[in-house]
Amino acid sequence: MSTSRPDVLHLQSDIAYSLPIGHMPDAGGHFGRFGGRFAAETLMRPLKEIEDAFFEAWNDPAFHAERLDLLKNYVGRATPLYHARRLSEENGGARIWLKREDLNHTGAHKINNTIGQGLLARRMGKKKVLAETGAGQHGVATATVAALFGMQCDIYMGREDVERQMPNVLRMRLLGANVIPVDSGTATLKDAVNEALRNWVASCEDTFYIFGTAAGPHPFPLMVRQFHTVIGQEARAQIIEQAGRLPDAVVACVGGGSNAMGMLHPFRDDEVRLVAVEAAGHGLDSGEHAASLAAGKPGILHGNLTYLLEDDEGQIQGTHSISAGLDYPGVGPELAFMLEEGRLQLDAATDDEALQALQLLTRTEGIIPALESSHALAAGLRIARDMNPDQIVVINLSGRGDKDMNTVFRHLGWMEDAS
């Protein structure tokens, strides 16, 4: 067997996973003026150690062999690319395909990244992992990998999210993770990140921080993107196989940007519209939303320079979205860069639009999407309506909706409003 790294690996015969890293940031992790490593001194060495370990692992065929084997036989990849005919017909306009990340083990795309980082943690000899979580999907995916690899696991979660995502909290506990509610600040995802960083500072000798989104200090934005590009690589091969050509538009929702980078990045050098959909909450004019790219400005938070929702003096603002997974005041630095470069088309969907899209997909196709993914769906449907039936829109269905049923039932008036 050759010791040099192959450029592609196969998980099944018809999909070749390309391994060379395209669109690299500079050596300091900057994507243009965004990104970087704005971290406290105590974190600089552990971050460098992760960076070195990541590049070393990425160049090792054995690492990818194990990673792809787990993605196939444990996660269930490749996920299908599904032509939603009834949805397309009901909606009108372009033909719609759905990338079924909701069919992954644990119910969302998040596990692509936690398998990768979990393998890296084991490779670095770490005995424990910690992570932040918002909706709980990344927390569940981290707890799952910790169980699989026999590692201790601490999950930091804002108190408000603990209360609105209780099924995921209980799943994490069942998986053996220690869920630590965070009361500081707004008691949501950004505060969970703060608390996870604080605890990693004190424990980094034996603990790996499995960061959940394509943001944070270098190398997290690059590494999380790379572990998720399986999504877009598969979708690209699958649409060519099924439709005989590339799509006209690819659509993904954006909180921090993990599923968006994984889906959109492999299409970056194609003539394809790349659409990122932010959470418009009660509307972009209401002030109650989580649309950092649309309504924010550049700033420094959680180790990177990126678009943030903040007041005039740089204090980070509270956000609102019906979906806890999009409820974050920042966004991955590469998305900020792609937007300023003109390579990204920005869109947004409100709480109500997401709820309507969720119901439409459920009734026409029998697929219940996560509220996060329902934002991509709402915008994707709108974009498709302005196109003709010869055209193709691919929407990333990043997760399944089981975790959101209580929220949805309350909004439909089928359950008492607990809040």
Tell me which residues are annotated as active site.
110, 132, 398
Least separation in angstroms between CB 71 and other proteins? 32
Rule CB under 8 A: choose which of 201, 243, 246, 387 binds other proteins.
201
The phi, psi pair for 373, rounded to 5°, reads -60, -30
Among 2, 3, 315, 419, binds other proteins (CB under 8 A): 315
Judged by CB under 8 A, which of 25, 46, 266, 333 binds other proteins?
A: 46
Could you say whether residue 204 binds other proteins (CB under 8 A)? yes
Question: At its nearest, how many Å lie between other proteins and the CB of residue 43?
Answer: 8
**Sole window of 199-207, 245-253, 336-344, 395-403 interacting with other proteins (rule: CB under 8 A):** 199-207
- What residues numbered 270-309 form the site for other proteins, per CB under 8 A? 298-303, 305, 308
95-100 vs 81-83, strand pairing mode: antiparallel
Which of 197, 224, 239, 379 lies at the binding interface for other proteins (CB under 8 A)?
A: 197
Check binding of 215 to other proteins (CB under 8 A): no
Name residue 263's amino acid: M
Closer to other proteins at the Cβ: 27 or 418? 27
332 and 215 Cβ atoms separated by less than 8 Å = yes
**Residue 160 engages other proteins in binding (rule: CB under 8 A):** no
User: Does residue 417 bind other proteins (CB under 8 A)?
Assistant: no
Complex with other proteins: residue 313 or 390, whichever CB lies closer? 313
Residue choice 286, 314, 363, 415 for contact with other proteins (CB under 8 A): 314
Closest CB to other proteins among residues 303, 399: 303
Q: Does 205 bind other proteins (CB under 8 A)?
A: yes
- Measured from the CB atom, is 26 or 89 closer to other proteins? 26
Strand order across the 81-83 sheet:
81-83, 95-100, 392-397, 249-253, 273-281, 345-350
Question: Scanning residues 332 to 361, which ones bind other proteins (CB under 8 A)?
Answer: none
Under the criterion CB under 8 A, does residue 240 sit at the interface with other proteins? Answer: no
Tokens matching residue 66:
């194990």
Q: Which is nearer to other proteins, 191 or 351 (CB)?
A: 191
- Please give the residues from 14 up to 43 whose contact with other proteins meets the rule CB under 8 A: 28, 36-42
Asked if residue 45 binds other proteins (CB under 8 A), the reply is yes
Q: Which residues, in sequence order, are CB contacts of 68 under 8 Å at separation 6+?
A: 9, 11, 17
> Total residues at the site for other proteins (CB under 8 A)?
37
| Residues in contact with 193: Cβ distance below 8 Å, sequence separation at least 6, in sequence order | 132, 156, 216, 302
Distances in Å between the Cα of 19 and the Cα atoms of 214, 261, 399 are 18, 16, 25
Q: Note whether 111 binds other proteins by CB under 8 A.
A: no
- Residue written as token pair 């860069």: 337
Nearer to other proteins, 71 or 204 (CB): 204
Which of 8, 10, 12, 44 lies at the binding interface for other proteins (CB under 8 A)? 44
Residue 310 found at the interface with other proteins (CB under 8 A)? yes
Smallest separation (angstroms) from other proteins to the CB of 184: 6
Report how many helices (DSSP H) and strands (DSSP E) the chain contains, helices first. 15, 16
Q: Report DSSP letters for 118-169, one per residue.
A: HHHHHHTT--EEEEEESSSHHHHHHHHHHHHHT-EEEEEEEHHHHHHTHHHH
Q: How many CB atoms lie within 10 A of CB 108?
A: 28
In degrees rounded to 5, what are phi and psi of residue 51? Answer: -60, -50
Four-residue CA torsion sign, 92, 98, 102, 103: positive
How large is the greatest C-alpha to C-alpha distance in the chain, in angstroms? 62
The residue among 116 and 330 lying less far from other proteins, judged by its C-beta, is 330
Q: How far apart are CA 259 and CA 253, in angstroms?
A: 7
Beta strands 207-209 and 8-12 are unpaired
> Are residues 113 and 227 in contact, defined by beta-carbon separation less than 8 angstroms?
yes
- What does the binding site for other proteins look like in residue numbers (CB under 8 A)? 28, 36-42, 44-46, 184-185, 190-191, 193-194, 197-198, 201-202, 204-205, 298-303, 305, 308, 310, 312-316
